[in-house]
A and B are shown apart, each in its own frame.
Chain A
Amino acid sequence: MNAIDKNISRRSVLAGLGGLTFCIAVGNDGVRLMSQAQANALANAQVTPWVRIAPDGKITILSAGAEMGQGSMTSLPLILAEELDADWSKVAIEWVPADPKVYGYKDPAGGTEQLMWIVGSRAVQLYFTQLRLAGAQVRKVLIANAAQRWGVDAATLKTEPSVVINPANGQRLSYGEIAAFGTVPVTLPAIDPNELKARKDFRLIGTSVPRRDTPSKVNGTAQYAIDVKLPGMVYASTLHSPVHNAQPRIWDPGKQDQSAAAPESWNDAEIKAIKGVIDVVKLPSGLAVVADHFETAKAGRDALKVKWTKAKADGFNSDRALADYVRIHDDPNAQATKVDEKGDVKAAFASAAKTYHAEFRSDYGYHAQMEPLNAVVRINDAGDKAEVWEGSQAPDESRKAVAKVLGLKDEQVDFHQCYMGGGFGRRSLGDYAAECALIAKAVRRPVKLIWTREEDIAQGMFRPQSFQCLEAATDASGKVTGWKHCVVGDGEFLLLTGIRIPYYGVPNQYIERRGVSHGIKLKHWRAVGHVFNTFAIESMVDQMAADQGIDPIEFRLDRMGATPKARKVFETMAQMSDYKAKRPDGRALGISITERSGSLGAGTVEISLDRQTGKIRVHKVWVAIDGGVIVQPAAAKANVESAIIYGLSSILHERVTIKDGVVEQSNFHDYNLMRMSDLPEQMNVQFVDVDTRPTGLGEIGNPFIAGAISNAFFKLTGKRLRHLPFTPDRVLETLKA
Chain B
Amino acid sequence: MVSFTLNNRQVAVDADPKTPLLWAIRDHVGLTGTKYGCGAGLCGACTVHIDGVAHRACMTQMSNVAGKKVVTIEGLSPDSSHPLQKAWVAEEVPQCGYCQSGQIMKAAELLAKNPKPSRADIITHMDGNICRCGTYHRIIAAIERASKEA
Binding site for B on A (CB under 8 A): 68-71, 210-211, 213-224, 226-227, 229, 235, 293-295, 368-372, 419-424, 450, 452-454, 634, 638-639, 641-646, 649, 667-669, 673-677, 679, 683
In the complex, which of the residues B36, B104, B130 contacts A673, with contact meaning CB atoms closer than 8 Å?
A: B130
Tell me, in angstroms, the Cα distance from A58 to B140 when the chains sit together.
Answer: 37
**Contacts A642-B133, A679-B140 given; 13 further ones with Cβ under 8 A?**
A69-B95, A218-B88, A219-B74, A220-B74, A293-B23, A293-B28, A295-B15, A638-B95, A641-B134, A646-B132, A667-B40, A673-B130, A676-B139
- Give the docked Cα–Cα distance between A454 and B131 (Å): 18
Q: Which 9 A-B pairs have the closest CB atoms?
A: A220-B33, A645-B134, A421-B98, A69-B96, A217-B97, A69-B95, A227-B32, A220-B73, A217-B94
| A-side contacts of B96, CB under 8 Å | 68-69, 369-371, 419-423
Residues of B within 8 A of A421 (CB): 35, 96-99
Residue pair B98, A294 in contact (C-beta under 8 Å): no
CB contacts (< 8 Å) of B19 on chain A: these are 293, 295
Q: Which residue of B lies closest to A635 (CB)?
A: B92
Q: Which residue of chain A has the shortest Cβ distance to B88 in the bound complex?
A: A218
A368 CA / B36 CA spacing, docked (Å): 13
- Whole-angstrom distance from the CB of A375 to the nearest CB of chain B? 14
Quick check: is B117 within 8 A (CB to CB) of the other chain? no
The answer to whether A669 touches B40 (Cβ under 8 A) is yes
Given A69-B96, A214-B94, A421-B98: A219 in contact with B85 (beta carbons within 8 A): yes
Contact residues of B between 55 and 90, Cβ < 8 Å to A: 72-74, 76-77, 80, 85, 88-89
Contact A667 B88, beta carbon cutoff 8 Å: no
Contact B39 A453 (CB under 8 A): yes
- In the complex the two chains form, is B97's CB within 8 Å of A69's CB? yes
Q: Take A219-B80, A235-B27, A293-B27 as given contacts and tell me if A642 and B134 are in contact as well, using a CB distance cutoff of 8 Å.
A: yes
Chain B residue, CB-CB nearest to A421: B98
Q: How many B residues have CB within 8 A of the partner chain?
A: 60
Expressed in whole angstroms, the Cα–Cα distance for A372 and B20 within the complex equals 17
What's the least CB distance linking B74 to chain A, in Å? 5
Chain A nearest Cβ from B109, distance in angstroms: 15
* Chain A min CB distance to B110 (Å): 12
Enumerate chain A residues within 8 angstroms of B130, measured Cβ to Cβ. 370, 668, 673, 675
Once the chains are docked, how many angstroms separate the CA of A391 from the CA of B11?
A: 31
Is the beta-carbon distance between A676 and B80 smaller than 8 angstroms? no
B54 sits at the interface (CB 8 A): no
Docked Cα-Cα span, A226 to B33, in Å, equals: 10
- Minimum CB–CB distance from A683 to chain B (whole Å) comes to 7
Q: How far does the Cβ of B72 sit from chain A's closest Cβ, in whole Å? A: 7
**Contact A676/B133 with A70-B95, A371-B98 known, Cβ cut-off 8 Å:** no
Instruction: Please state if A224 and B98 are interface contacts (CB–CB under 8 Å).
Output: yes
When each residue 28-63 of chain B gets 1 if its CB lies under 8 Å from chain A and 0 otherwise, what string results?
A: 101111111111101101000000000000000000
Tell me the complex Cα distance, A217–B100, Å. Answer: 7
Complex: A674 Cα to B126 Cα, angstroms:
12
Q: Give, as a whole number of angstroms, the nearest-CB distance from B30 to chain A.
A: 7
- Shortest B18–chain A CB gap in Å is 9
> Could you tell me if A668 and B27 are in contact, using CB atoms closer than 8 angstroms?
no
Complex interface: chain B residues within 8 A of A370 (CB) = 35, 37, 43, 45, 96, 98-99, 130-133
A and B contact pairs by CB, cutoff 8 A, 8 listed: A215-B80, A219-B76, A220-B34, A220-B74, A293-B15, A634-B92, A675-B127, A679-B137
Which one of B15, B23, B39, B140 lies within 8 Å of A452 (CB-CB)? Answer: B39
Task: Mark out the residues of chain B between 128 and 148 whose CB falls within 8 Å of any chain A CB in the assembled complex.
Answer: 128-140
Contacts of A644 in B (CB 8 A): 134
A453:B37 contact, CB within 8 angstroms: yes
In the complex, chain B residues whose CB is within 8 Å of the CB of A214 = 88-89, 92, 94
In Å, the complex CA distance between A699 and B88 comes to 24
Which B residues lie within 8 Å of A679 (CB)? 123, 136-137, 140
- Residues in A with CB closer than 8 Å to B80 are 215, 218-219
Are A668 and B100 within 8 A (Cβ)? no
Tell me the bound Cα distance from A131 to B103 in angstroms. 36
A210 touches B94 (CB 8 A): no
Closest to B98 in A: A421
| B38 pairs with A667, CB closer than 8 A | yes
Chain A residues with CB under 8 A of B98: 224, 369-371, 421-422
B104 A218 Cβ-Cβ under 8 A: yes
Please tell me which one of the listed residues A70, A210, A673 contacts residue B132 in the complex, with CB atoms under 8 A apart: A673
Chain A residue at smallest Cβ distance from B101: A220
Cross-chain contact B36 with A642 (CB below 8 angstroms): no
Do residues B140 and A676 form an inter-chain contact, with CB atoms below 8 A? yes
Q: How far is B50's CA from A326's CA once the two chains are assembled, in angstroms?
A: 55
CB neighbours (8 Å) of A424 from chain B are: 132
Of B33, B40, B135, which one neighbours A453 at CB under 8 angstroms?
B40
Residues of B contacting A227 in the complex (Cβ-Cβ under 8 angstroms)? 26, 32
Name the residue among B73, B101, B122, B132 with the largest chain A CB count within 10 angstroms: B132
* Chain A residue at minimum C-beta to C-beta distance from B105: A220
In the complex, A424→B28 CA distance in Å? 31
Q: Which of B16, B45, B77, B97 is close to A222, meaning CB atoms less than 8 Å apart?
A: B97
Also in contact, A638 and B92, with CB within 8 A (given A217-B97, A453-B39): yes
**Are the C-beta atoms of B33 and A295 separated by less than 8 Å?**
no
Residues of chain A within 8 A of B85, CB atoms compared: 218-219
Identify B123's interface contact among A643, A668, A677, CB under 8 A. Answer: A677
Whether the Cβ atoms of A69 and B27 lie closer than 8 Å is no
Inter-chain CA distance A644–B73, complex, in Å, is 29
> Looking across the interface, which residue of chain B has its beta carbon closest to that of A680?
B137
Chain B CB within 10 Å, residue with most, of A68, A295, A368, A643 = A295
**Closest residue of chain A to B34, judged by CB?**
A220
Task: Assess the A213–B42 pair: CB atoms within 8 A.
Answer: no
Q: Is the CB of A642 within 8 A of B95?
A: yes
Distance, CA A224 to CA B133, complexed state (A):
16
B134 touches A218 (CB 8 A): no
The 8 Å CB contact of B92, one of A210, A222, A423, A453, is A210
Give chain A nearest CB distance to B58 CB in angstroms: 10
Residue of A nearest to B102 (CB): A370
Q: Is the CB of B35 within 8 A of A371?
A: yes
* A226 touching B35 in the complex, CB below 8 Å, given contacts A219-B85, A370-B45, A642-B133: yes
Complex CA gap A225/B65 in Å reads 28
CA distance A568 to B124 in the complex (A): 40
Inter-subunit contact A294/B134 (CB<8 Å): no
Min CB–CB distance B46 → chain A (angstroms)? 11
Q: Hey, which chain B residues are within 8 Å of A673, CB to CB? A: 130, 132
Asked if A372 meets B74 with Cβ closer than 8 Å, knowing A211-B92, A220-B32, A676-B127, the reply is: no
**Residue of A at shortest CB range from B81?**
A219
Q: Kindly list chain B residues whose C-beta atoms are within 8 Å of the C-beta of A71.
A: 95
Greatest chain B CB density within 10 A among A216, A450, A639, A641 is at A641
